[in-house]
A and B are shown apart, each in its own frame.
Chain A
């Protein structure tokens, strides 16, 4: 399923662009914020859950995934360099799975691991840090699938991905109760809440629906992204 050559080219492409410098920014903001709140006096007792849940899992993970996920395929489609990859007999599903794997790994490294570090800074190796880290890993995987799918299916993937995160997750899913079932953030927080038992994370889902819905999202997005890439057409000049 994972083609090591596709993954290697993707890594090289990802870190060969100046955009790679942006990957670390959300994590830096999270760590700095955590250090600032830790050293501040008179902070709320639930500040750690708020920072790790809302900022870490709810903002750092999707933003990093957006930057990485739209780069691994969208940039190659934009400049047509993807044609060199597609002018080979590699199954398109393997291309998508390899791209998603690289995106998930890099997102986990630049977002989920900093969430763990922030959690340890806040409360030590507590279950909240572990729960948010695992929630962040889940988010890294599912967001990567969603953003790679958007890159394969639509032009201007950054705009659509941003719209999903900003409008759907941050606005609609908080206003419309049913929308939480279609929110990657809620699935991630659901897992984090189930592991940590911390009620301040703002989760509306438990572990089972979070994992089941995540698995369905992964299968569907990988399948449709592969279908879209199989039907990749060159745009007219």
Chain B
């Protein structure tokens, strides 16, 4: 049994520490309120080894989920467990878990080497200096490790935080917006590092509001919108779901009313609405519609003045997933 399983006490007599092996992260019908505001609403998910992306727009509840998993919030309803143990009021869970918080508050007066070595000592590692060196090498921070953290760029601070979280080689790594402030090279390196840790059997959960980051790194994706789990599973499956959503275009032409009549006859169009600024078209097939639009309008003798895809933002995709 691992240290956390020996030390932590199961809550309510219902949690059973899991045997040694990969640490399973579970949220079971978890709800969390901040006062009257529901931050997380009835979320159930289970994560195993590999890299999972927690995707959602700002304020969706991603950080709340990570704070629930790291024991910095207690669920208002439901249960949270890591390796069978509730993290709330059980600091021993941090023998299994490494946390990289989003907020940029670190002990800025320390150097990265001091900061990571302190983290190793707090974990009571047998050789804290050696462990700190390994962690600093992992994040490519050895060259700048003797400078105070307050002199670092945001990306370097992030890497110092990741090194401190990795110093005890945790089975579970929770990262809140880890790529914030990193330049493209640092970002790629961090992605390689996390991908390697995931492939090595660790359970990695990172939050992001950038679709491309999640696409590049995550094996599975949990999409959170307005506190609810909107989609969950393999990224390609969700992506397919996204591409079948109706695409909304705003059009303006020389004769909007006539164009509406032409477009509604197309099988690629689900609906057309005449607005004061032109037309709002809901296309069921993005590719077919964009290919047909020019042909149909030219055939009808209508000139297109403006074609704007109006739901290409991530928020629009999430809004669709919530409704799906």
Contacts and interface: CB of A to CB of B under 8 A. Distances in A.
B89 A230 contact: yes
Contacts of A231: 74, 89
A88 B119 contact: yes
Nearest to B73: A233
Given A5-B122, A13-B107, A81-B107, A88 B73 contact: no
B91 A89 contact: yes
A166 interface: no
Contacts of B223: none
A7 to B, nearest CB: 11
A83 B99 contact: yes
Interface string A1-30: 001011011001100100000000000000
A91 B91 contact: yes
Contacts of B73: 233-234
Contacts of A13: 107, 109
Contacts of B95: 89
B128 to A, nearest CB: 9
B264 interface: no
A237 B37 CA distance: 12
Nearest to A88: B122
A37 to B, nearest CB: 40
B109 A87 contact: no
Contacts of B121: 5
Nearest to B94: A89
Q: Which of A12, A89, A92 has the most CB of B within 10 A?
A: A89
A80 B72 CA distance: 11
B118 A9 contact: yes
Binding site secondary structure of chain A: loop
Contacts of A41: none
B122 A3 contact: yes
Contacts of B37: 236
Nearest to A87: B99
A230 B71 CA distance: 9
Contact of B39 (A84, A85, A232, A236): A236
Contact of A88 (B91, B106, B109): B91
Contacts of B122: 3, 5-6, 85, 88-90
Interface in B62-99: 63, 67, 70, 72-74, 89, 91-95, 97-99
A5 B161 CA distance: 17
B34 A236 contact: yes
Given A3-B122, A80-B103, A87 B67 contact: no
B153 to A, nearest CB: 18
A12 B108 CA distance: 10
A42 to B, nearest CB: 50
Contacts of B119: 84, 88
A191 to B, nearest CB: 36
Contacts of A91: 91
Contacts of B124: 89
A89 B109 CA distance: 23
B162 interface: no
A71 B124 CA distance: 26
B105 A88 contact: no
Contacts of B99: 83, 87
B72 A86 contact: yes
Contacts of B63: 234, 237
B164 interface: yes
B95 to A, nearest CB: 5
A9 B122 CA distance: 11
B110 interface: yes
Given A5-B122, A6-B122, A9-B118, A84 B91 contact: no
B110 A9 contact: yes
Nearest to A229: B91
A81 B106 contact: yes
Nearest to B8: A89
Given A16-B109, A231-B89, A87 B118 contact: no
Q: Which of A6, A83, A230 has the most CB of B within 10 A?
A: A83
Contacts of A230: 89, 91
14 contacts: A5-B118, A8-B118, A13-B107, A13-B109, A80-B103, A81-B107, A85-B122, A88-B122, A89-B122, A230-B89, A230-B91, A231-B74, A232-B72, A236-B39
Interface of B: 3-4, 7, 34, 37, 39, 63, 67, 70, 72-74, 89, 91-95, 97-99, 101, 103, 105-107, 109-110, 115, 118-119, 121-124, 161, 164-165
Q: Which 4 pairs from chain A and chain B are nearest by CB?
A: A16-B109, A88-B122, A236-B34, A87-B99
Given A84-B107, A84-B164, A88-B91, 13 more contacts: A3-B122, A5-B118, A13-B109, A83-B101, A85-B122, A88-B94, A88-B122, A89-B7, A89-B93, A90-B122, A231-B74, A234-B67, A234-B73
